[in-house]
């Protein structure tokens, strides 16, 4: 089995789908190798593509606020996305792209062995749990194949809509009460 570092290097060299042609940098993920908590979003944005790190743009700033609400340090968790390369013009990921990156995500989960996976948004929820309607499942622990998942809204939705930002806060308050530090 690869180390997380080796896996990240493979992701950076990936050419499985056409997204690699338009990327500045692939965004494998960032954080603690033995994190108890793994956060999974949709896909890198412009700033993430520029820096090669997940959630460093505006949505990342909101995510950092939410992590503080939960009492978590970003350095103690591992953050990644379903897609490892930015889709053009921040369009939604396509099924084939998600399928091509799925192997990377599964290997990351296997290597990290998190106690809890925080799922951000519809795309990640659909990819990981086969569930599309966040409003029906957010704020709850779900178990699939022995792994615990907690679904919430994507921070970018919180930036666009005040009601989703409030729901994010509520969900991260719940997360803070769970003992995953």
| Distance of alpha carbon 54 from alpha carbon 66, whole angstroms | 15
pLDDT band at 159; cut points 50, 70, 90: very high
Query: Could you tell me the domains of the chain?
Result: 4-177 (3.40.470.10)
Q: What is the pLDDT of residue 132?
A: 83
pTM for the full predicted model: 0.96
Q: What is the DSSP string of 78-131?
A: EEEES-SSPPGGGPPPPHHHHHHHHHHHHHHHHHH--SEEEEEHHHHHHHHHS-
Average pLDDT rounded to a whole number, residues 132-150: 93
The DSSP output letter for 76 is: G
Q: Which of 25-29, 46-50, 55-59, 135-139 has the lowest mean pLDDT?
A: 135-139
Instruction: Count how many residues are written for the chain.
Output: 181
Rg of the chain's alpha carbons, rounded to an integer? 15
pLDDT in tens, 35-94: 999 999 999 999 999 999 999 999 999 999 999 999 999 999 999 999 999 999 889 999
Closest CA to 88 of 157, 20, 158, 160: 20
């Amino acid at each position: 089995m690869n180390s997380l570092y080796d896996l990240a290097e493979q992701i950076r060299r990936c050419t499985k789908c056409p997204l690699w042609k338009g990327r500045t940098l692939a965004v494998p993920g960032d954080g603690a190798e033995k994190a108890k908590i793994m956060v999974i979003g949709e896909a890198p944005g412009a700033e993430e593509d520029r820096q090669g790190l997940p959630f460093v743009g505006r949505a990342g700033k909101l995510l950092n606020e939410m992590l503080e609400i939960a009492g978590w340090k970003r350095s103690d968790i591992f953050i990644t996305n379903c897609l490892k390369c930015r889709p053009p013009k921040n369009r939604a990921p396509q099924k084939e792209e998600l399928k091509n990156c799925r192997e990377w995500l599964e290997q990351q989960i296997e290597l990290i062995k998190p106690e809890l996976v925080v799922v951000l948004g519809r795309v990640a929820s659909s990819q990981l749990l086969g569930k599309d309607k966040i409003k029906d499942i957010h704020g709850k622990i779900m178990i699939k194949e022995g792994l615990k998942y907690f679904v919430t809204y994507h921070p970018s939705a919180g930036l666009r809509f005040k009601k989703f930002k409030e729901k994010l806060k509520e969900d991260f308050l719940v997360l803070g009460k769970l003992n995953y530090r």
